[in-house]
Structure 1
Protein backbone atom coordinates (compact mmCIF):
# COMPACT_ATOMS: atom_id res chain seq x y z
CA UNK A 1 0.00 0.00 0.00
CA UNK A 2 2.83 2.38 0.83
CA UNK A 3 4.42 1.61 -2.54
CA UNK A 4 1.13 2.47 -4.26
CA UNK A 5 0.94 5.78 -2.41
CA UNK A 6 4.52 6.66 -3.31
CA UNK A 7 3.88 5.90 -6.97
CA UNK A 8 0.66 7.92 -6.98
CA UNK A 9 2.16 10.97 -5.29
CA UNK A 10 5.24 10.74 -7.46
CA UNK A 11 3.10 11.07 -10.59
CA UNK A 12 0.83 13.61 -8.85
CA UNK A 13 3.65 15.91 -7.74
CA UNK A 14 5.43 15.71 -11.09
CA UNK A 15 2.36 16.42 -13.22
CA UNK A 16 0.75 19.08 -11.05
CA UNK A 17 4.14 20.59 -10.28
CA UNK A 18 4.43 21.41 -13.97
CA UNK A 19 0.89 22.81 -13.99
CA UNK A 20 1.70 24.85 -10.89
CA UNK A 21 4.02 27.01 -12.97
CA UNK A 22 1.01 27.99 -15.09
CA UNK A 23 -1.42 28.58 -12.23
CA UNK A 24 -1.95 32.15 -13.44
CA UNK A 25 -3.65 30.91 -16.59
CA UNK A 26 -7.01 30.16 -14.93
CA UNK A 27 -7.39 33.63 -13.31
CA UNK A 28 -6.40 35.16 -16.65
CA UNK A 29 -9.17 33.32 -18.51
CA UNK A 30 -11.74 34.26 -15.85
CA UNK A 31 -10.71 37.90 -16.10
CA UNK A 32 -10.86 37.88 -19.88
CA UNK A 33 -14.32 36.30 -19.68
CA UNK A 34 -15.69 38.80 -17.16
CA UNK A 35 -14.04 42.01 -18.34
CA UNK A 36 -16.01 42.42 -21.63
CA UNK A 37 -19.27 41.61 -19.82
CA UNK A 38 -18.69 44.29 -17.19
CA UNK A 39 -17.37 46.87 -19.65
CA UNK A 40 -20.32 46.39 -22.01
CA UNK A 41 -22.84 46.65 -19.16
CA UNK A 42 -21.13 49.75 -17.81
CA UNK A 43 -20.95 51.44 -21.20
CA UNK A 44 -24.66 50.84 -21.82
CA UNK A 45 -25.60 52.34 -18.47
CA UNK A 46 -23.21 55.25 -19.04
CA UNK A 47 -24.88 56.10 -22.35
CA UNK A 48 -28.35 55.75 -20.80
CA UNK A 49 -27.66 57.10 -17.31
CA UNK A 50 -31.05 58.83 -16.95
CA UNK A 51 -32.95 55.75 -18.11
CA UNK A 52 -30.93 53.60 -15.72
CA UNK A 53 -31.77 55.89 -12.80
CA UNK A 54 -35.45 55.83 -13.75
CA UNK A 55 -35.44 52.03 -13.98
CA UNK A 56 -33.78 51.71 -10.58
CA UNK A 57 -36.28 54.09 -9.00
CA UNK A 58 -39.56 53.28 -10.75
CA UNK A 59 -38.91 49.71 -11.81
CA UNK A 60 -37.15 48.35 -8.75
CA UNK A 61 -38.20 50.89 -6.14
CA UNK A 62 -34.66 51.51 -4.87
CA UNK A 63 -33.83 54.69 -2.94
CA UNK A 64 -31.56 57.42 -4.37
CA UNK A 65 -31.77 56.07 -7.93
CA UNK A 66 -29.51 58.79 -9.43
CA UNK A 67 -26.69 58.02 -7.01
CA UNK A 68 -27.16 54.28 -7.39
CA UNK A 69 -27.12 54.60 -11.17
CA UNK A 70 -23.75 56.36 -11.09
CA UNK A 71 -22.29 53.90 -8.59
CA UNK A 72 -23.52 50.93 -10.61
CA UNK A 73 -22.28 52.38 -13.90
CA UNK A 74 -18.76 53.26 -12.78
CA UNK A 75 -18.36 50.08 -10.75
CA UNK A 76 -19.05 47.93 -13.80
CA UNK A 77 -17.13 50.16 -16.21
CA UNK A 78 -13.97 50.74 -14.19
CA UNK A 79 -14.13 47.28 -12.67
CA UNK A 80 -14.16 45.72 -16.11
CA UNK A 81 -11.01 47.58 -17.17
CA UNK A 82 -9.24 46.71 -13.91
CA UNK A 83 -10.07 43.05 -14.46
CA UNK A 84 -8.78 43.28 -18.01
CA UNK A 85 -5.34 44.53 -16.94
CA UNK A 86 -5.22 42.52 -13.72
CA UNK A 87 -4.91 45.58 -11.49
CA UNK A 88 -6.36 45.55 -7.94
CA UNK A 89 -8.25 42.39 -8.88
CA UNK A 90 -9.09 41.31 -5.33
CA UNK A 91 -10.30 44.76 -4.32
CA UNK A 92 -12.46 45.33 -7.38
CA UNK A 93 -14.00 41.86 -7.11
CA UNK A 94 -15.78 42.89 -3.90
CA UNK A 95 -17.99 45.71 -5.29
CA UNK A 96 -18.66 43.69 -8.44
CA UNK A 97 -19.84 40.78 -6.30
CA UNK A 98 -22.17 43.16 -4.47
CA UNK A 99 -23.58 44.32 -7.82
CA UNK A 100 -24.20 40.73 -8.93
CA UNK A 101 -25.83 39.85 -5.62
CA UNK A 102 -28.16 42.86 -5.70
CA UNK A 103 -29.05 42.16 -9.33
CA UNK A 104 -29.84 38.51 -8.59
CA UNK A 105 -32.12 39.42 -5.67
CA UNK A 106 -33.90 42.47 -7.04
CA UNK A 107 -34.14 41.66 -10.75
CA UNK A 108 -33.84 37.92 -11.43
CA UNK A 109 -34.91 36.11 -8.27
CA UNK A 110 -38.60 35.78 -9.12
CA UNK A 111 -37.78 34.22 -12.50
CA UNK A 112 -36.01 31.19 -11.06
CA UNK A 113 -32.61 29.86 -12.03
CA UNK A 114 -32.45 29.65 -15.82
CA UNK A 115 -31.49 32.65 -17.94
CA UNK A 116 -32.86 30.90 -21.06
CA UNK A 117 -35.88 28.72 -20.38
CA UNK A 118 -35.14 25.09 -21.35
CA UNK A 119 -37.60 23.71 -23.89
CA UNK A 120 -36.87 19.98 -23.41
CA UNK A 121 -37.41 18.48 -19.92
CA UNK A 122 -35.19 15.51 -20.81
CA UNK A 123 -32.11 17.71 -21.25
CA UNK A 124 -32.89 20.22 -18.52
CA UNK A 125 -30.31 20.50 -15.74
CA UNK A 126 -33.21 20.41 -13.30
CA UNK A 127 -34.00 16.78 -14.17
CA UNK A 128 -31.46 15.13 -11.77
CA UNK A 129 -32.82 17.26 -8.93
CA UNK A 130 -36.40 16.47 -9.95
CA UNK A 131 -35.56 12.76 -9.86
CA UNK A 132 -34.41 13.27 -6.28
CA UNK A 133 -37.84 14.67 -5.44
CA UNK A 134 -37.02 18.39 -5.18
CA UNK A 135 -40.33 20.28 -5.67
CA UNK A 136 -38.71 23.34 -7.29
CA UNK A 137 -36.96 21.10 -9.83
CA UNK A 138 -40.23 19.36 -10.70
CA UNK A 139 -41.87 22.76 -11.24
CA UNK A 140 -38.97 23.69 -13.50
CA UNK A 141 -39.55 20.57 -15.62
CA UNK A 142 -43.23 21.42 -15.96
CA UNK A 143 -42.23 24.93 -17.04
CA UNK A 144 -39.86 23.42 -19.60
CA UNK A 145 -42.71 21.40 -21.09
CA UNK A 146 -44.85 24.54 -21.34
CA UNK A 147 -41.98 26.45 -22.97
CA UNK A 148 -41.51 23.65 -25.51
CA UNK A 149 -45.19 23.68 -26.44
CA UNK A 150 -45.12 27.42 -27.06
CA UNK A 151 -41.97 27.24 -29.12
CA UNK A 152 -43.46 24.49 -31.31
CA UNK A 153 -46.56 26.63 -31.84
CA UNK A 154 -44.44 29.66 -32.69
CA UNK A 155 -42.46 27.59 -35.21
CA UNK A 156 -45.68 26.44 -36.90
CA UNK A 157 -46.97 30.01 -37.18
CA UNK A 158 -43.68 31.35 -38.52
CA UNK A 159 -43.35 28.49 -41.01
CA UNK A 160 -46.87 29.16 -42.32
CA UNK A 161 -46.83 32.96 -42.39
CA UNK A 162 -43.14 33.89 -42.52
CA UNK A 163 -39.70 32.96 -43.77
CA UNK A 164 -38.82 30.58 -40.97
CA UNK A 165 -35.41 29.70 -42.46
CA UNK A 166 -34.35 33.34 -42.48
CA UNK A 167 -35.77 33.95 -39.00
CA UNK A 168 -33.76 31.08 -37.51
CA UNK A 169 -30.63 31.59 -39.58
CA UNK A 170 -28.77 33.21 -36.64
CA UNK A 171 -30.05 30.77 -34.07
CA UNK A 172 -33.13 28.98 -32.84
CA UNK A 173 -35.97 30.89 -31.26
CA UNK A 174 -35.80 30.78 -27.47
CA UNK A 175 -37.76 32.07 -24.48
CA UNK A 176 -35.83 34.48 -22.29
CA UNK A 177 -36.45 33.43 -18.72
CA UNK A 178 -34.11 36.06 -17.19
CA UNK A 179 -33.36 34.02 -14.07
CA UNK A 180 -30.43 34.32 -11.71
CA UNK A 181 -28.18 31.95 -13.67
CA UNK A 182 -25.87 34.54 -15.21
CA UNK A 183 -25.67 36.73 -12.10
CA UNK A 184 -24.88 33.69 -9.93
CA UNK A 185 -22.25 32.49 -12.40
CA UNK A 186 -20.53 35.87 -12.46
CA UNK A 187 -20.66 36.01 -8.66
CA UNK A 188 -18.92 32.63 -8.38
CA UNK A 189 -16.23 33.67 -10.86
CA UNK A 190 -15.61 36.92 -8.99
CA UNK A 191 -15.44 34.97 -5.73
CA UNK A 192 -12.74 32.80 -7.26
CA UNK A 193 -10.76 35.92 -8.22
CA UNK A 194 -11.19 37.26 -4.70
CA UNK A 195 -9.30 34.20 -3.38
CA UNK A 196 -6.77 33.77 -6.19
CA UNK A 197 -6.12 37.34 -7.27
CA UNK A 198 -5.10 38.22 -10.79
CA UNK A 199 -2.69 35.31 -11.03
CA UNK A 200 1.00 35.01 -11.82
CA UNK A 201 2.72 36.25 -14.97
CA UNK A 202 -0.40 37.73 -16.60
CA UNK A 203 -1.52 40.52 -14.24
CA UNK A 204 -0.20 43.91 -13.21
CA UNK A 205 -0.81 42.98 -9.58
CA UNK A 206 1.80 40.23 -9.77
CA UNK A 207 4.67 42.51 -10.81
CA UNK A 208 3.66 45.44 -8.59
CA UNK A 209 3.37 43.11 -5.62
CA UNK A 210 6.83 41.64 -6.21
CA UNK A 211 8.47 45.06 -6.43
CA UNK A 212 6.66 46.44 -3.39
CA UNK A 213 7.47 43.42 -1.21
CA UNK A 214 11.11 43.47 -2.31
CA UNK A 215 11.38 47.10 -1.20
CA UNK A 216 9.73 46.30 2.12
CA UNK A 217 12.18 43.43 2.75
CA UNK A 218 15.15 45.62 1.83
CA UNK A 219 13.92 48.40 4.13
CA UNK A 220 13.40 45.97 7.02
CA UNK A 221 16.84 44.47 6.57
CA UNK A 222 18.45 47.93 6.52
CA UNK A 223 16.54 48.95 9.65
CA UNK A 224 17.53 45.73 11.45
CA UNK A 225 21.17 46.24 10.53
CA UNK A 226 21.09 49.82 11.83
CA UNK A 227 19.50 48.63 15.07
CA UNK A 228 22.15 45.95 15.58
CA UNK A 229 24.92 48.47 14.90
CA UNK A 230 23.47 50.90 17.44
CA UNK A 231 23.16 48.21 20.12
CA UNK A 232 26.70 46.80 19.76
CA UNK A 233 29.35 48.21 22.24
CA UNK A 234 32.03 50.43 20.74
CA UNK A 235 35.47 48.79 20.98
CA UNK A 236 38.19 51.35 22.01
CA UNK A 237 41.71 50.30 20.91
CA UNK A 238 44.64 50.54 23.38
CA UNK A 239 42.29 51.24 26.25
CA UNK A 240 44.88 50.27 28.94
CA UNK A 241 47.58 52.37 27.37
CA UNK A 242 45.29 55.39 27.14
CA UNK A 243 44.00 55.05 30.72
CA UNK A 244 47.54 54.94 32.22
CA UNK A 245 49.41 58.25 32.58
CA UNK A 246 52.33 58.62 30.23
CA UNK A 247 55.80 57.94 31.67
CA UNK A 248 58.07 60.94 32.42
CA UNK A 249 60.47 61.62 29.65
CA UNK A 250 64.13 61.04 30.49
CA UNK A 251 66.33 64.16 30.31
CA UNK A 252 68.37 64.44 27.25
CA UNK A 253 72.07 63.68 27.69
CA UNK A 254 74.46 66.42 26.67
CA UNK A 255 76.45 65.90 23.55
CA UNK A 256 79.65 64.01 23.71
CA UNK A 257 81.75 67.15 23.08
CA UNK A 258 80.25 68.82 26.11
CA UNK A 259 81.07 65.77 28.24
CA UNK A 260 84.66 65.84 27.04
CA UNK A 261 85.01 69.54 27.73
CA UNK A 262 83.49 69.27 31.21
CA UNK A 263 85.91 66.45 32.18
CA UNK A 264 89.11 68.34 31.12
CA UNK A 265 91.45 69.65 33.97
CA UNK A 266 91.08 73.25 35.15
CA UNK A 267 93.60 75.93 34.10
CA UNK A 268 97.06 76.26 35.76
CA UNK A 269 96.18 79.33 37.78
CA UNK A 270 93.14 77.58 39.25
CA UNK A 271 95.35 74.62 40.17
CA UNK A 272 97.80 76.91 42.08
CA UNK A 273 94.94 78.45 43.99
CA UNK A 274 93.62 75.06 44.90
CA UNK A 275 97.11 73.96 46.18
CA UNK A 276 97.42 77.09 48.28
CA UNK A 277 94.03 76.54 49.77
CA UNK A 278 94.89 72.98 50.60
CA UNK A 279 98.16 74.02 52.38
CA UNK A 280 96.36 76.65 54.44
CA UNK A 281 93.81 74.16 55.52
CA UNK A 282 96.60 71.83 56.64
CA UNK A 283 98.17 74.43 58.78
Structure 2
Protein backbone atom coordinates (compact mmCIF):
# COMPACT_ATOMS: atom_id res chain seq x y z
CA UNK A 1 0.00 0.00 0.00
CA UNK A 2 2.99 2.35 0.32
CA UNK A 3 2.81 3.02 -3.42
CA UNK A 4 -0.65 4.56 -3.20
CA UNK A 5 0.42 7.98 -1.86
CA UNK A 6 3.04 8.61 -4.60
CA UNK A 7 0.55 7.33 -7.18
CA UNK A 8 -2.05 9.83 -6.02
CA UNK A 9 0.49 12.68 -6.08
CA UNK A 10 1.54 11.70 -9.61
CA UNK A 11 -2.03 11.38 -10.88
CA UNK A 12 -2.92 14.77 -9.40
CA UNK A 13 0.16 16.56 -10.78
CA UNK A 14 0.38 14.93 -14.22
CA UNK A 15 -2.57 16.71 -15.88
CA UNK A 16 -1.57 20.03 -14.30
CA UNK A 17 1.94 19.86 -15.75
CA UNK A 18 0.82 18.40 -19.09
CA UNK A 19 -1.70 21.21 -19.53
CA UNK A 20 0.78 23.90 -18.46
CA UNK A 21 3.44 22.66 -20.88
CA UNK A 22 0.93 22.15 -23.70
CA UNK A 23 -0.44 25.68 -23.23
CA UNK A 24 3.07 27.16 -23.36
CA UNK A 25 3.80 25.30 -26.60
CA UNK A 26 0.43 26.20 -28.15
CA UNK A 27 1.26 29.90 -27.79
CA UNK A 28 5.04 29.67 -27.78
CA UNK A 29 5.56 33.12 -29.30
CA UNK A 30 3.35 34.76 -26.67
CA UNK A 31 4.91 32.71 -23.89
CA UNK A 32 8.41 33.73 -24.98
CA UNK A 33 7.36 37.36 -25.22
CA UNK A 34 5.88 37.23 -21.71
CA UNK A 35 9.03 35.55 -20.35
CA UNK A 36 11.24 38.28 -21.84
CA UNK A 37 9.29 41.54 -21.67
CA UNK A 38 10.33 43.65 -18.66
CA UNK A 39 7.34 46.01 -18.92
CA UNK A 40 4.39 43.58 -18.88
CA UNK A 41 6.11 40.22 -18.48
CA UNK A 42 8.79 38.58 -16.39
CA UNK A 43 11.81 40.32 -17.94
CA UNK A 44 13.91 37.15 -17.99
CA UNK A 45 17.02 36.75 -20.13
CA UNK A 46 16.97 34.27 -23.05
CA UNK A 47 13.16 34.09 -23.06
CA UNK A 48 12.89 31.58 -25.93
CA UNK A 49 15.31 29.18 -24.26
CA UNK A 50 13.64 29.51 -20.86
CA UNK A 51 10.16 29.15 -22.35
CA UNK A 52 11.29 26.02 -24.21
CA UNK A 53 12.84 24.57 -21.04
CA UNK A 54 9.77 25.32 -18.92
CA UNK A 55 7.29 24.01 -21.50
CA UNK A 56 9.34 20.86 -22.18
CA UNK A 57 9.89 20.13 -18.51
CA UNK A 58 6.19 20.49 -17.74
CA UNK A 59 4.88 18.58 -20.77
CA UNK A 60 7.38 15.70 -20.75
CA UNK A 61 7.52 15.69 -16.95
CA UNK A 62 3.74 15.45 -16.75
CA UNK A 63 3.70 12.38 -18.99
CA UNK A 64 6.57 10.78 -17.06
CA UNK A 65 4.72 11.38 -13.79
CA UNK A 66 1.58 9.88 -15.27
CA UNK A 67 3.27 6.52 -15.84
CA UNK A 68 5.73 6.85 -12.98
CA UNK A 69 8.87 6.67 -15.12
CA UNK A 70 12.04 8.43 -13.92
CA UNK A 71 9.90 10.00 -11.20
CA UNK A 72 12.71 11.10 -8.90
CA UNK A 73 14.76 12.44 -11.78
CA UNK A 74 11.99 14.47 -13.47
CA UNK A 75 10.76 15.78 -10.12
CA UNK A 76 13.99 17.77 -9.71
CA UNK A 77 13.50 20.07 -12.75
CA UNK A 78 9.76 20.22 -12.02
CA UNK A 79 10.53 21.44 -8.49
CA UNK A 80 13.00 23.96 -9.88
CA UNK A 81 10.38 25.17 -12.38
CA UNK A 82 7.90 25.72 -9.55
CA UNK A 83 10.45 27.71 -7.53
CA UNK A 84 11.20 29.91 -10.56
CA UNK A 85 7.47 30.36 -11.24
CA UNK A 86 6.78 31.26 -7.61
CA UNK A 87 9.59 33.83 -7.52
CA UNK A 88 9.25 35.39 -10.97
CA UNK A 89 5.53 35.19 -11.76
CA UNK A 90 3.68 34.93 -8.46
CA UNK A 91 5.63 36.32 -5.48
CA UNK A 92 4.60 39.94 -6.02
CA UNK A 93 0.97 38.81 -5.62
CA UNK A 94 1.42 37.34 -2.16
CA UNK A 95 0.31 33.89 -1.06
CA UNK A 96 -3.29 33.54 -2.21
CA UNK A 97 -4.02 32.10 -5.65
CA UNK A 98 -7.60 33.39 -5.51
CA UNK A 99 -8.50 36.77 -4.07
CA UNK A 100 -10.25 36.36 -0.73
CA UNK A 101 -10.23 39.49 1.39
CA UNK A 102 -11.70 37.51 4.31
CA UNK A 103 -8.67 35.20 4.50
CA UNK A 104 -6.20 35.70 7.32
CA UNK A 105 -3.54 35.45 4.59
CA UNK A 106 -4.84 38.71 3.08
CA UNK A 107 -4.44 40.78 6.24
CA UNK A 108 -0.70 41.33 5.99
CA UNK A 109 0.25 38.31 8.11
CA UNK A 110 2.00 36.48 5.27
CA UNK A 111 3.16 38.09 2.02
CA UNK A 112 0.62 40.91 1.89
CA UNK A 113 -0.90 41.74 -1.43
CA UNK A 114 -3.04 44.75 -0.69
CA UNK A 115 -4.91 44.30 -3.98
CA UNK A 116 -6.54 41.22 -2.41
CA UNK A 117 -8.28 43.54 0.03
CA UNK A 118 -10.00 45.23 -2.95
CA UNK A 119 -11.28 41.88 -4.30
CA UNK A 120 -14.72 42.14 -2.71
CA UNK A 121 -15.32 45.57 -4.25
CA UNK A 122 -14.02 44.43 -7.66
CA UNK A 123 -16.14 41.28 -7.61
CA UNK A 124 -19.28 43.25 -6.74
CA UNK A 125 -18.56 45.70 -9.57
CA UNK A 126 -18.09 42.81 -12.05
CA UNK A 127 -21.33 41.17 -10.90
CA UNK A 128 -23.23 44.45 -11.22
CA UNK A 129 -21.92 45.02 -14.76
CA UNK A 130 -22.72 41.45 -15.79
CA UNK A 131 -26.23 41.62 -14.35
CA UNK A 132 -26.91 44.84 -16.22
CA UNK A 133 -25.21 44.11 -19.58
CA UNK A 134 -24.68 40.35 -19.73
CA UNK A 135 -26.47 37.10 -19.17
CA UNK A 136 -25.43 36.70 -15.54
CA UNK A 137 -27.37 33.49 -14.92
CA UNK A 138 -25.75 31.79 -17.92
CA UNK A 139 -22.29 33.12 -17.10
CA UNK A 140 -22.49 31.81 -13.54
CA UNK A 141 -24.32 28.54 -14.28
CA UNK A 142 -21.01 26.63 -13.95
CA UNK A 143 -19.90 28.38 -10.76
CA UNK A 144 -19.54 31.72 -9.10
CA UNK A 145 -17.35 34.52 -10.34
CA UNK A 146 -13.87 34.46 -8.83
CA UNK A 147 -11.16 37.11 -8.79
CA UNK A 148 -7.73 35.65 -9.47
CA UNK A 149 -4.94 36.89 -7.25
CA UNK A 150 -2.22 34.73 -8.85
CA UNK A 151 -0.13 34.36 -5.69
CA UNK A 152 2.39 31.62 -4.97
CA UNK A 153 -0.10 29.24 -3.34
CA UNK A 154 -0.38 26.77 -6.27
CA UNK A 155 3.30 26.91 -7.25
CA UNK A 156 4.29 26.29 -3.61
CA UNK A 157 1.84 23.40 -3.32
CA UNK A 158 3.08 21.77 -6.52
CA UNK A 159 6.69 22.28 -5.39
CA UNK A 160 5.99 20.46 -2.13
CA UNK A 161 4.29 17.62 -3.99
CA UNK A 162 7.14 17.05 -6.47
CA UNK A 163 9.67 17.50 -3.67
CA UNK A 164 8.02 14.60 -1.86
CA UNK A 165 8.28 12.53 -5.06
CA UNK A 166 12.04 13.16 -5.16
CA UNK A 167 12.28 11.19 -1.90
CA UNK A 168 9.49 8.63 -2.34
CA UNK A 169 9.88 7.90 -6.02
CA UNK A 170 6.95 6.87 -8.18
CA UNK A 171 5.57 4.29 -5.80
CA UNK A 172 6.02 0.63 -5.09
CA UNK A 173 3.87 -1.52 -7.40
CA UNK A 174 2.25 1.62 -8.86
CA UNK A 175 4.94 3.02 -11.15
CA UNK A 176 7.00 2.06 -14.15
CA UNK A 177 10.04 2.90 -12.00
CA UNK A 178 9.21 0.05 -9.62
CA UNK A 179 8.99 -2.54 -12.39
CA UNK A 180 12.04 -1.17 -14.22
CA UNK A 181 14.09 -1.30 -11.01
CA UNK A 182 12.84 -4.82 -10.32
CA UNK A 183 13.85 -5.93 -13.83
CA UNK A 184 17.31 -4.31 -13.58
CA UNK A 185 18.07 -5.86 -10.18
CA UNK A 186 16.80 -9.25 -11.34
CA UNK A 187 19.20 -9.18 -14.29
CA UNK A 188 22.05 -7.98 -12.08
CA UNK A 189 21.82 -10.92 -9.68
State the TM-score, normalized to the length of structure 1. Answer: 0.61
Mapped pair 1:188 → 2:160: yes
Q: Which residue of the partner structure matches residue 103 of structure 1? A: 85
Q: Residue 70 of structure 2 contacts residue 177 of structure 2 at CA under 8 Å; is this kept in 1?
A: yes
CA distance in 2 between partners of 1:145 and 1:114 (Å): 11
Q: Deviation string for 1:103-143 (max 9, x for gaps)?
A: 10001000001111014x1xx2538xx6xxxx435956x75
Structure 1, unaligned runs of 5 or more: 1-21, 219-283
Partner of 1:116: 98
Change (3 A) 1:144 1:78: closer
Instruction: For 1:156-167, list aligned pairs within 5 A.
Output: 156-167=128-139
Structure 1 residue 208: Cα displacement: 1.0
Give the counterpart of 1:42 among 18, 21, 32.
21
Q: Say if 1:213 and 1:57 are closer, same or farther in 2 by CA, change over 3 A.
A: same
Once the two structures are overlaid, the 10-residue window that deviates more, 175-184 or 165-174, is 165-174
Q: 1:79 to 1:171 in 2, by over 3 A?
A: same
* Deviation (angstroms), 1:163: 2.8
- Number of residues of Structure 1 aligned to a counterpart in Structure 2: 186
**Which whole-Å CA distance do the structure 1 matches of 2:84 and 2:116 have between them?**
27
Task: State the distance in 2 between where 1:148 and 1:49 align.
Answer: 34
1:219-245 Cα shifts (integer Å, max 9, x gaps) = xxxxxxxxxxxxxxxxxxxxxxxxxxx
Change (3 A) 1:143 1:52: closer
1:144 to partner: Cα distance: 5.0
How many Å apart are 1:29 and its aligned residue? Answer: 0.9
The secondary structure found in structure 1 opposite 2:82 is: helix
> Is 1:136 paired with 2:109?
yes
**1:140-198, Cα deviation, whole Å (9 max, x unpaired):** 6x755532233223323333443321221111111110111110010000011111000
Match in the other structure for 1:173: 145
The runs of at least 4 aligned residues of structure 1 exceeding 4 Å deviation read 137-140, 142-145
Cα distance in 1 between the residues matched to 2:49 and 2:129: 46
2:71 to 76, 85, 89: 89
Q: Alpha carbons of 1:145 and 1:65: their partners in 2 closer, same or farther (altered >3 Å)?
A: closer
Structure 2, unmatched stretches of 5+, are: none
Q: Is the 8 A contact 2:94 2:110 kept in 1?
A: no
CA positional deviation for 1:53: 1.7
Does 2:185 align with 1:213?
Answer: yes
With CA pairs under 8 Å and 6+ residues apart, which has the higher RCO, 1 or 2?
A: 2
